[in-house]
Amino acid sequence: MAAAEPESPVVVTTNYYVVRGASPGEIRTSMTEARPWKASFAFDARTAWEARCNYTYRESGGQYLLDSVEVKTKVTVTLPVWSVRMDAEQDLFERWWEYLKALSRHEQGHVQYARAATAAVQQRLSALPGFASRHELGVAVHRTVGEVIKEFRSQEAEYDRQTGHGMTQGAVFLPRSRRNGGPD
């Protein structure tokens, strides 16, 4: 009987929303209108994650210590998918593909922050000392998890600032007229 593989502490799911069009302008308009978060978030893709922590503790010599720690993180990446028109020009296929690769690469950067945060929570909780009460231990766990998540959310915000939300990585899909003044 083969041993079951341990469950990954980070589960990544990718969702898609459909965009349509036969020109870059039509595709851009469709993306702007179709993205699920259009009223609250002005970007074509989104990565959201949340970490959950379960732990057990033991009492030893008047101290409450963590006995086991399990951190699980759910990550959801949402990307556009183009419902390709068969009459679209080859250049449009190529532009879309390059854009989608760059956009996906940028979103994978966010996934890496979620993975790093998960590992950091695990490590920092494992290093907690003993506490005089269960309550104090619980407060320390909650505080530690919150601090790590805040730290990594801040790093993610800086990542987005430095990359222009992926623009410096090539995640730009604009009609030529908006990119370099040419017709589209």
pLDDT in tens, 67-109: 999 999 999 999 999 998 777 888 999 999 999 999 999 999 9
In a domain, 182, yes or no: no
In this model, does residue 3 exceed pLDDT 50?
no
Residues of the chain with pLDDT > 90, as a percent, come to 80
Closest CA to 142 of 49, 62, 54, 64: 54
- Count, residues in the chain: 184
In a domain, 1, yes or no: no
Which range among 48-57, 90-99, 110-119, 173-182 shows the weakest confidence by mean pLDDT?
Answer: 173-182
Q: Which two tokens stand for residue 85?
A: 């028109």
What is the span of the domain harbouring residue 31? 10-175
In this model, does residue 159 exceed pLDDT 50?
yes
In a domain, 4, yes or no: no
Q: What distance in Å separates the CA atoms of residue 79 and residue 108, rounded to the nearest whole number?
A: 11
Q: What distance in Å separates the CA atoms of residue 118 and residue 100, rounded to the nearest whole number?
A: 27
In a domain, 28, yes or no: yes
Q: At what angle do helices 24-34 and 90-126 cross, to 10 degrees?
A: 30
Q: What distance in Å separates the CA atoms of residue 53 and residue 115, rounded to the nearest whole number?
A: 14
In this model, does residue 184 exceed pLDDT 70?
no
Please state, rounded to an integer, the average pLDDT across all residues of the chain.
90
In this model, does residue 48 exceed pLDDT 70?
yes
pLDDT band at 4 (very low <50, low <70, confident <90, very high): very low
Look at residue 7 in the predicted model and tell me its pLDDT: 57
In a domain, 5, yes or no: no
In a domain, 135, yes or no: yes
The answer to pTM > 0.85 is: yes
Look at residue 5 in the predicted model and tell me its pLDDT: 43
Look at residue 34 in the predicted model and tell me its pLDDT: 95
Q: What distance in Å separates the CA atoms of residue 29 and residue 26, rounded to the nearest whole number?
A: 5
Number of domains making up the chain: 1
Q: Which residues, at least 6 apart from 147, have a Cβ–Cβ distance to it below 8 Å? A: none
Look at residue 174 in the predicted model and tell me its pLDDT: 77
In this model, does residue 141 exceed pLDDT 90?
yes
Closest CA to 13 of 112, 153, 111, 149: 111
